[in-house]
Amino acid sequence: MDNKTKGNMNKANSYDYRSEGNGRKKGKYKTILIAELLLLLLAIVGIITFAVLKGGYFKKNNNNAGNNNQTQGGGNNVPGGKDNELTPEEEEKKRLEEEEKEQQEKISKLVEEADLLAMGYDYDKAIETIKSYGQGYVNHTVLTDAIAKYEADKAKLVPLGAYESVNEISHIFFHSLVADNSKAFDGDYASNGYNYYMTTISEFKEMMKQMYEDGYVLVSIHDVAHQVTAEDGTTKFVPGDIMLPPDKKPFVMSQDDVNYYEYMTGDGFASKAVIDENGRPSTAMIMDDGTVSVGDYDMVPILETFIAEHPDFSYKGARGLLALTGYEGTLGYRTNDKSSPTYEQDKEAVKEVIKVMKEWGWEFGSHSYGHRNMGKVSYNFTIQDSDRWMEEVGSLIGPTDVYVFPYGIDIEENIGAYTSDKYQYLKSLGFNYYCGVFKSPWIQVKDEYVRMTRRPLDGQAMLQFPERLADLFDLSKVIDPDRPALK
């Protein structure tokens, strides 16, 4: 074997390390390339999946946003698209539908408001309310039908309802209602007085329930008799012509001493009159833990609740008459104490409460300043007492023409015409209605004034003189079982 052949054989049998390095390098690049392709493929799949899942959301929001995100000349980001645009005919149809809806809502609201007035026997105002829609009311059957019904119901009314004369109209009255029997009737020195002169909340509610069921309707004392002016300019008082259905019986209601005196603190009574968070007249009561609760703790809010449930219990929005003294403030606010750090604040609070209560139909009267027997005091005392009431209370509640005698004792014993100087002074202050107490209804309508007696609906009347209340309700269902026997 020659050397050339031997060299070729050795060359053929040897390992080429350079070729091996190149091969390894190429395999490595191939592996990396495959891995990158796989990652790219996974990324593409992820993007497609995300788009599919989220596509509906973006489309929905694009639709809600209208044309805000549209590309130029298109809708919903689709060039040239007009998915949300309406034709002129569709726009007009939509406008008419919206107008019809607004019109029906206005009509429904008017009828609801008018129906409430009609339930309170104020048919004239109910008709005015319907006609406030405008001349076009005649084109709506629901409005013309409502007016026809009001006119038909109004035609059935008669003066004084079931009564022949204003002399039959009862004027009932209460003191502060007992909100917590366990405190008022706990046997202490004040319990006997509460038992005699107060009424519990449960008794008051049962009384109202029975009177409502028996056809009684609450009216204002100014409905019972009112002042008229003749052609020559002279004035005089005449009996009212309260128009009610033939089975309804008008009555007046009042409450004395709505001042929440200091001696009542902690004995289960409200502490002051307030306006609640809904703008409704209410009362506040101090609870055992010292917190103050606002709710139906006395006559005013309880009657409001009852009337809200029975609108036909109130004649033309009538409420009760509150008789106020002044020697311990007004409505639970100590407006009699000028040295109090909250004196000015309390006066403003009273004005606001009075304002709202008047808007709800409540009326106010004087019960004198010092709650003295006005039949026995002197003329000079009458002047001093009345002037102080006008200054401290009258200035807060505004004008009133009702004077409610303390203890129900009239300034004159005779039942003829007033002639005393006491009357002349009270008349000069603007008082035209004078209220005493008697066991049965009695009214005197004179040219210059009106006298009307009231019946107490307290513990003494219920337990000692039940026969005096038999025409109003069944006492066996009224008297609170917590009420003790009279001592």
Q: How confident is the model at residue 165 (pLDDT cuts 50, 70, 90)?
A: very high
Distance CA 340, CA 354 (A): 21
What digits encode the pLDDT tens for the residues 301-328? 999 999 999 999 999 999 999 999 999 9
Residue 129 phi, psi dihedral angles, 5° rounding: -65, -45
Better-predicted residue by pLDDT, 94 or 83: 94
pTM: 0.81
For residues 249-266, average pLDDT? 97
Identify the pLDDT of residue 71. 41
Please say if the pLDDT value at position 152 is more than 60: yes
On whether the CB atoms of residues 101 and 293 are closer than 8 A, the answer is no
Instruction: Indicate the SS3 state at residue 244.
Output: strand
The pLDDT of 387-393, averaged and rounded, is 98
What are the contacts of 417-424 at 24+ separation with CB within 8 A?
A: 417/446, 418/446, 418/448, 418/449, 421/379, 422/374, 422/379, 422/382, 423/449
Give the model's pLDDT for residue 21: 43
- Looking at residue 83, what is its pLDDT? 57
Q: How far apart are CA 247 and CA 242, in angstroms?
A: 13
What is the reported pLDDT for 47? 59
Element (H, E) at 255: strand 249-256
Q: Which residue has the higher pLDDT, 458 or 14?
A: 458
pLDDT in tens, 331-376: 999 999 999 999 999 999 999 999 999 999 999 999 999 999 999 9
**Cα-atom radius of gyration of the chain, to the nearest Å?**
42
Predicted confidence at residue 15, as pLDDT, reads 36
Top pLDDT among 2 and 160 is at 160
